[in-house]
Amino acid sequence: MTARSARSGEFDLIARYFAPLATSRSGAFGLTDDAALFGVSDGADRIVTTDALVEGTHFRPDDPPDRVAQKALRVNLSDLAAMGATPEVYTLALRIPEDRNDEWVAAMARGLAADQARYGVTLIGGDTVGGAGPAMLAVTAIGRLAHGPPLRRGGAAAGDDVWVTGTIGDGGLGLQVCRGEATGLDAVQRRFAVDRYRLPEPRVELGPALVGTATACLDVSDGLVADLGHLARASGLAAEILLADVPRSDAAEASSFPETERIVAGDDYELAFTAPPDRRDAVRETARKTETPVTRIGRMRPGSGIQVLDRDGAPVPVGRTGWRHR
């Protein structure tokens, strides 16, 4: 039996693997209708985001399918967190290449089930299609904004501190490991880096907690330098960061990954945000309560663009700024 003939039809795939993911929402109708009902009666605003992952562009053909599905969901949850929303539901559109069988789809469903339990979200609809071409997953996620206006990119003020969560550059380092290009790492560090590339950690607890404290926020998907450039541009300001203050993991410290490459690599999905200096204690307390590591790395100032500085305050040349959308 070939892989192609081993795959079930669309409705069988939905009933077998995806309908069980939709049981906690009555408005999903077991994924048997043309659309879902998403009732809102609490008066809170909702945030909606969509991201697509394409095989060969956003993930490797040899990446485990359960991890691919989890990443597709998590990058959307990261977008919600960046705007201060708590995730609720999502939809999934999946293109299945002709050479993938039912087990490939089942593995994706298992990955999604694990993350639904972890993040408290539910599948309410979507689509599947087979055919030629690479695998693709498009997720639309909806989150609840509990209080206040959403966090946006354009709210920073001159003098605001620049903060980041977690460590920067691990996603890019993990991709290097997958390509066989990374050196200097032991087995534990290699696994850590690969996991950071394949399984980002959306900061779903911190994002909503920053509403009212942070002045601007976004997630670091295209690289720290590129994304801070987006925030600075939206705020009509310049950003400057100290390279030595950008947090790094033990794996990044041990690797041959250049520092200037680390800050432009994508796939970190950490949060970068700004807040006035008089809110430093509030930021640290919010981070403590949500058990999220945060580091202050720079400041916003009048001007435009982003400048990376060394310990002496001299500019550090950065060749490329990060991932470019085409």
For 190, the 3-state DSSP assignment is: helix
Give the tens place of pLDDT for each residue, 168-217. Answer: 999 999 999 999 999 899 999 999 999 999 999 999 999 999 999 999 99
Give the tens place of pLDDT for each residue, 272-289. Answer: 999 999 999 999 999 999
User: What is the model's pLDDT at position 323?
Assistant: 45
Answer whether residue 324 shows pLDDT above 70. no
- Shortest CA distance to 23 belongs to which of 108, 122, 112? 122
| Banded pLDDT at 221 (limits 50, 70, 90) | very high
Q: Cα dist. 266→135, 136, 323 in Å?
A: 21, 19, 6
Q: How far apart are CA 198 and CA 283, in angstroms?
A: 28
Model pTM score: 0.90
Just give the CATH number of 161-309: 3.90.650.10
Give the CB-side neighbour count of residue 212, counting CA atoms within 13 A: 8
CB 160 within 8 A of CB 239: no
From 3.40.630.30, 3.30.1330.10, 2.10.10.100, 3.30.56.10, which CATH number describes the 10-145 domain? 3.30.1330.10
User: What is the model's pLDDT at position 31?
Assistant: 78
User: What is the model's pLDDT at position 321?
Assistant: 59
**Domain ranges (residues) in the chain:** 10-145, 161-309
Answer whether residue 10 shows pLDDT above 90. no
Percent of the chain predicted with pLDDT > 90: 79
| Banded pLDDT at 2 (limits 50, 70, 90) | very low
Q: What is the average per-residue pLDDT within 41-51?
A: 89
- Shortest CA distance to 140 belongs to which of 256, 244, 38? 38
Q: How far apart are CA 252 and CA 225, in angstroms?
A: 17
